[in-house]
Amino acid sequence: MIRVNTKTHPYNVLFGHSFIREAFTSLQDVTRTADRIFVLTDENVWAAQGERFTAAFPLAFDVFVLPGGEACKSFEQYNACQTFLLEQRATRKSLIIAFGGGAVGDLSGFVAATYMRGIPFIQVPTTILAHDSAVGGKTAINHPLGKNMIGAFYQPQAVVYDIAFLETLPEQEIRSGMTEVIKHALISDEAWLRQLLDRSIYDYSAEELSHHLQRGTQVKADIVAEDETEQSVRKYLNLGHTYGHAIEAASGYGNLSHGESVMIGLVYCLLLSERYGEITRDDTLAVYNYAVSQRYPFDAVAKFDFDTLLGYMQKDKKAEYGELQFVLLRKIGEPFVQKMDVAECRAIDEALRQLISEGSQ
């Protein structure tokens, strides 16, 4: 168990294997005050895991099934969820369970934050990526002009992380989730990073994966406790996200996974960090070569010119007064925020394309 001590309210992240019944029995302080329980999930998760969840969940609930993946984070699906809750006569005492990956969690959290000005919700993640997205209270939907642009900071009552749900993940979801584990290592601990780079992301046992996910969750929990609404150090969790979100948005949400896009962004930021800190080309290549060996799709960069990506980066929530801001590394484990001008961003974009070109020859 990991405690997330936010100023809004503290809550626990529970880890286990096939322990849904046990976990929710321990959360009776939250569930017993609920007049109704509504599970929001997506069609892929429900088809794969719905029977297991229903058999294990100890209470009665109603379910609303959304489109799979990033497609659920839209105005249309947000409205559909609100309509469902209103038609079901959900009240301020109703409880939402977000059962799915990061997209379901982001949408469900925003629905909970805004239905009747806020009702409680619990995250039940089913992907590796969600060890990051389910913790910390960032909720949002996408806009065609930018990712996660409409949302709220709204903390869950708890996070129930059942590792058993990860056993059927497709390869793309493994890549997507392990990017955030690697990001957590980059901003916190060089020795841990080297340990991760020595193993294939596809070879972890359930116990080993749980260990790394708990470690990543602890990194995030410590930062969120210090800065809940991203005024200072929480920005460090965005390492790789500015360029990565631009690639993801330009590709069309759902074509590249979030984590695949962020991995591209991590290498971009390492190239930038070579100019501003002690990061060496060997550091950058260690991450890049590892990512290539794990089949991350760096060829996506060639599909867009820099000016297209720049348009998305300029809409980034971390931009201030028209200036781009990037999270960089002085060295592994020491992140900082740096303002960047467009010319330098363009030069690093060219350097990334050159690196990818050389790697593919």
DSSP string, 111-178: HHHHGGG---EEEEE-SSTHHHHTSS-EEEEEETTEEEEEEEE---SEEEEEGGGGGG--HHHHHHHH
Give the pLDDT score at 277: 87
According to CATH, where is 1.20.1090.10 located in the chain? 171-359
241 has catalytic annotation: yes
184 has catalytic annotation: no
208 has catalytic annotation: no
Q: Is the pLDDT of residue 361 over 50?
A: no
255 has catalytic annotation: no
230 has catalytic annotation: yes
Distance of CA 249 to the CA centre of its chain: 15
Query: What is the rounded distance in angstroms from the CA atom of residue 36 to the CA atom of residue 44?
Result: 24
Task: State pLDDT tens for residues 103-150.
Answer: 999 999 999 999 999 999 999 999 999 889 999 999 999 988 778 889
Contacts of 329 (CB under 8 A, 6+ apart): 186, 187, 239, 269, 270, 273, 277, 279, 335, 336
Task: State pLDDT tens for residues 235-285.
Answer: 999 999 999 999 998 998 778 999 999 999 999 999 999 999 899 999 999
According to CATH, where is 3.40.50.1970 located in the chain? 2-168
The catalytic position among 73, 131, 138, 235 is: 138
Kind plus residue range of the DSSP H or E element containing 201: none
Contacts of 76 (CB under 8 A, 6+ apart): none
Q: What is the CATH number of domain 171-359?
A: 1.20.1090.10
The catalytic position among 44, 142, 148, 238 is: 238
The catalytic position among 248, 258, 260, 317 is: 258
180 has catalytic annotation: yes
What's the fold here for domain 2-168? Rossmann fold (3.40.50)
234 has catalytic annotation: yes
Give the pLDDT score at 296: 98
Give the pLDDT score at 337: 95
Give the pLDDT score at 46: 97
Task: State pLDDT tens for residues 151-165.
Answer: 999 999 999 999 999
Task: State pLDDT tens for residues 32-72.
Answer: 999 999 999 999 999 999 999 999 999 999 999 999 988 89
Q: Is the pLDDT of residue 360 over 60?
A: no
Please provide the average confidence, as pLDDT, over all residues in the chain: 94
Query: What is the rounded distance in angstroms from the CA atom of residue 39 to the CA atom of residue 61?
Result: 7
The catalytic position among 147, 212, 234, 317 is: 234
220 has catalytic annotation: yes
Closest alpha carbon to 239 in 287, 169, 280, 204: 287
Report the range out of 83-92, 221-230, 306-315 with the highest average pLDDT.
83-92
Mean pLDDT of 289-309: 97
143 has catalytic annotation: no
Alpha helices, DSSP H, located in 227-257: 241-251
70 token code pair: 């990033």
Q: Is the pLDDT of residue 322 over 80?
A: no
User: Which whole-number Å values give the CA distances from 163 to 33, 123, 291, 335, 357, in the listed order?
Assistant: 27, 14, 24, 30, 38
Give the pLDDT score at 23: 97
The catalytic position among 44, 142, 175, 180 is: 180
Q: Is the pLDDT of residue 81 over 80?
A: yes
Q: Which residue has the higher pLDDT, 204 or 360?
A: 204
pLDDT > 70 in the chain, percent = 98
Kind plus residue range of the DSSP H or E element containing 267: helix 258-276
17 has catalytic annotation: no
Mean pLDDT of 90-96: 98
